[in-house]
A and B are shown apart, each in its own frame.
Chain A
Amino acid sequence: MNASHQNRPLKPARVTGEAQVWLTAMGLSIGLIMVVGLLAIILINGIEVFWPKRIVELTMKDGDKTISIAGEIVIERDKPIKTDETVEREIQLFTGNKDVYGQGFRFIDEKDVVSRSQPAGVLKVERMEYGNAIGMPVSLKLKGGEVIPATDPRFNHRLQELIDEVTDRRNEILYLEQSVIGANARRMTDLGYQRKSAESSNDQAAIAEIDAEVATLQADFEILRTKALELRARQKDHQLVLKLFTGEERTLIMGDLVKVTWSNELSLIGRVGLTFSHLWSFMVEKPREANTEGGIWPAIFGTFVMTILMSIAVTPFGVVAAIYLREYAKQGPIVRIVRIAVNNLAGVPSIVFGVFGLGFFVYIMGGTIDSLFFSDKGATPTFGTGGILWASLTLALMTVPVVIVATEESVAAVPRGAKEGSLALGASKWQTIQRVVLPAAIPGILTGLILAMARGAGEVAPLMLVGVVKLAPSLPIDGIYPFFHLDQKFMHLGFHIYDLGFQSPDSEAAKPMVFATTFFLILLVMALNLGAIVLRDRIRRRFATSAF
């Protein structure tokens, strides 16, 4: 060998790293930081809603008088408008007692505040209406005139007992009014339609039968109504007297109360426990007071059901389309154009799909269904108005390109050897697709479905046209026959966020709810995706060692 070759020096390793690596890593890092940061902001702000804060009493000088006010400090900040170069600070206080003060939040200049304290024994009361009340408990006025003052050792125990009692009774009333009386009313409406059609066919026997049933239902209804009224009256039996820090004394009807908290006596464990309790009730309760109070269960459930329905609709639709495109269609310019068109469909603004859904699904299909099957209801639309079925189908249409593209790619990735092996054994093309291609393509199809679900679950704009409402009276799936109410309007987390954040009469009260709702929307999408990912991995493992 040539001597000069032997002496050729080897290039030393570079210690500085490579610019390309840094550049690409930076791109990823920026993306990651933004995503993590966004999630952290939502998480912190969302959880904060549920963290029980201390109630602070602020004493202020107003001329000669001192006035005091109490509440939870939301934020302390520099005033946005500066005067004379001096920075003034202000405190945003959640005072509650909206029924007395007219608003729940108040800004107070820090320079006016003489002293702050955390008064012991202050009570925060969650109510069905007007939000929270904050004040010092005075007494319990029981039915029959007995009064238990707050200083009485039995007071706390008795108060909690009464709260539990009214909560139970409230649930009873709800059940009675919504389920029992509701079923009764629905039956009567149906009978009304039946009677009309019986009248038109002049069927006297049927009319008599219907009238008899209506009479029984009417009698039942009277009994139920009396019972409900009785229960409602009993909700007003007892009262709680509260003295506000501004001096007023308020008498609260026990039946309005949801929960009482001695905010300043809570231990750390108590506060953590209460956080989870709030979180739980936020998740499982219905919204109250223009959605600014209560929970978001109907929205969670509506989003979930809509996404599942959408998946059920989009998967077969997308998969068969992709299989035809990849396996049966003769590859050529037309197929290429179709493929480009499908890809472009994914870029159409979602509101356009909403308009299409309204025009095609709601008016044309829904209208046709109504005129064919629900003509006895007259002008009242059943399917001819927005509903969860039409919303799901609209979203399915919107996300079908994602599924088609993913399916096509995974079908194309099925090794030729596998297909040929099947065909060589005398299997037809369809048998091969069914037994070899589709099983191997399922992981890819599920990837497409995951993307479709993520997009569909977070969509708002088209839903506003095809069935989402601010407040739905009942859930799309419940215990009332026929259990699935696909014609029903529903609530959706995405729309709920929009509604709370931008349509709410009390934006201050709604702000934390927006974060909390966003948090749950992300959680729901993640849970749905996780389900699909677990499913995909299980299937993939079955094919993992494939030696095609």
Chain B
Amino acid sequence: MNLTLTPAATTPMKPTQNAADPIAKAPGPTQPMGVGQGYLSVQNYNFWYGSNQTLFDISMEIPEKQVTALIGPSGCGKSTLLRNFNRMNDLIDNIRHSGDIKIAGHTIYDPLIEVTSLRKRVGMVFQKSNPFPKSIYENVIYGLRVSGKTNKADLDIAVEKGLRAAALWDEAKDRLNQSALGLSGGQMQRLCIARAIAVEPEVILMDEPCSALDPIATGKIEELILELKKQFTVVIVTHNMQQAGRCSDRTAFFYLGKLIEYDTTVTIFTNPHQKQTEDYITGRFG
């Protein structure tokens, strides 16, 4: 896996060779983590849309190859945070932040680094599946095409690998050249996951990936998420408490732009320290 961001000018960082290698020290799901130890590290992060502050002093460590769920009522800032991990919010005018987000020890806001190389490392799956109006094949290799890869054999391998990883290969292998828009909703979402995987990212962000799907399709995606964490660091935003409980290793509860509680999923769901967390999880508000 390519761990280097493409720098605009300076020598590339090799985060894995860092003296304070975060991965080596990454604790198990039950242990708390120190600052900078997570694969994704959010440090005193504030974020504003115009004059409206939506994130307040967030600090959290997201460990590698685990699933971290972000939960909270609508408008609590969890999606905003997620979209900052791959700087998707850059598309919006008048945004501002303070504090830092680091991936494998390197800040994502490094002005010397192309944002596209960050996005190749941090893939994203959206709430509404958004396959391109192209063939299934072209959808999967879109990320490779924009990176300039043209070798047909490599692309073929990438398509199969991506579709297998997204558990879509058996359903799609005979119709690779048909339009992706002919797939069902659940299949489309898995295609979007395959598309994200094909770029070989390190982190996969999922923004309520099942909210538009029926329970069967949701079940498949959840199974997939558990598979994915063997290879990828997954961050998932969800409104579905059961989903967070089933899939994630760690859960962060957000409320009104603040990180209220962040701990192992087991702790959050069985023994939350904060009253607000408990109220939300048990359905008393939100």
Contact = CB atoms under 8 A, between A and B. Distances in A.
A414 to B, nearest CB: 11
Interface in B112-168: 116-117, 119-120, 123-124, 126, 128-133, 142-143, 145-147
Interface string A423-455: 111111001000110011000000000000000
Contacts of A431: 146
A420 interface: yes
Contacts of A424: 86, 88, 119, 123-124, 126, 196
A436 B124 CA distance: 17
Nearest to B143: A425
A425 B119 contact: yes
Interface residues of B, number: 31
B24 interface: no
A331 interface: yes
Contact of A548 (B130, B179, B199): B130
7 contacts: A418-B132, A422-B132, A425-B146, A440-B133, A547-B128, A547-B188, A548-B128
A412 to B, nearest CB: 14
B40 interface: no
Nearest to A416: B91
User: 6 tightest A-B contacts by CB?
Assistant: A426-B120, A425-B143, A417-B130, A424-B124, A427-B146, A421-B130
Max chain B CB contacts within 10 Å: which of A330, A418, A421?
A421
B65 interface: no
Interface in B178-235: 179, 181-182, 185, 188, 192, 195-196, 199
A422 B147 CA distance: 12
A426 B199 contact: yes
Given A425-B196, A427-B143, A547 B129 contact: yes
Nearest to A427: B146
Contacts of B128: 417, 547-548
Contacts of B170: none
Contacts of B196: 424-425
Interface in A74-90: none
A440 B130 CA distance: 13
A547 B192 CA distance: 13
A415 interface: yes
A543 B131 CA distance: 11
B93 interface: yes
Interface of B: 86, 88, 91, 93, 116-117, 119-120, 123-124, 126, 128-133, 142-143, 145-147, 179, 181-182, 185, 188, 192, 195-196, 199
Given A420-B124, A424-B119, A425-B123, 8 more contacts: A417-B126, A420-B91, A425-B143, A425-B146, A426-B146, A435-B146, A542-B179, A546-B181
A545 interface: yes
Max chain A CB contacts within 10 Å: which of B86, B93, B133, B179?
B133
B5 to A, nearest CB: 11
B200 to A, nearest CB: 11
Contacts of B129: 547
Contacts of B142: 422, 425, 427, 435
Interface of A: 330-331, 415, 417-428, 431, 435-436, 439-440, 542-543, 545-548
Contact of B126 (A420, A428, A439, A542): A420
A330 B131 CA distance: 28
Nearest to A418: B130
B133 A546 contact: yes
B143 A426 contact: yes
B22 to A, nearest CB: 23
Contacts of A439: 133
A426 B93 contact: no
Contacts of B182: 545
Contacts of A423: 88, 91, 119
A426 B116 contact: yes
Contact of A421 (B120, B126, B181, B185): B126
Contact of B93 (A331, A419, A545): A331
Nearest to B120: A426
Contacts of B120: 425-426
A548 B182 CA distance: 13
A428 B145 CA distance: 12
B59 to A, nearest CB: 25
Max chain B CB contacts within 10 Å: which of A330, A419, A427, A440?
A427
A427 B139 CA distance: 13
Nearest to A545: B181
A426 B126 contact: no
Nearest to B180: A547
A331 B94 CA distance: 11
B130 A420 contact: yes
Contacts of B146: 422, 425-428, 431, 435
Given A420-B88, A435-B146, A425 B130 contact: no
A426 B133 CA distance: 18
A545 B132 CA distance: 11
A542 B124 contact: no
B159 to A, nearest CB: 14
A428 B142 CA distance: 12
A542 B133 contact: yes
Contacts of B117: 426
A465 B145 CA distance: 49
A426 B147 contact: yes
Contacts of B199: 425-426
Contacts of A548: 128, 130
Contacts of A415: 130
Contacts of B145: 435
Contacts of B185: 547
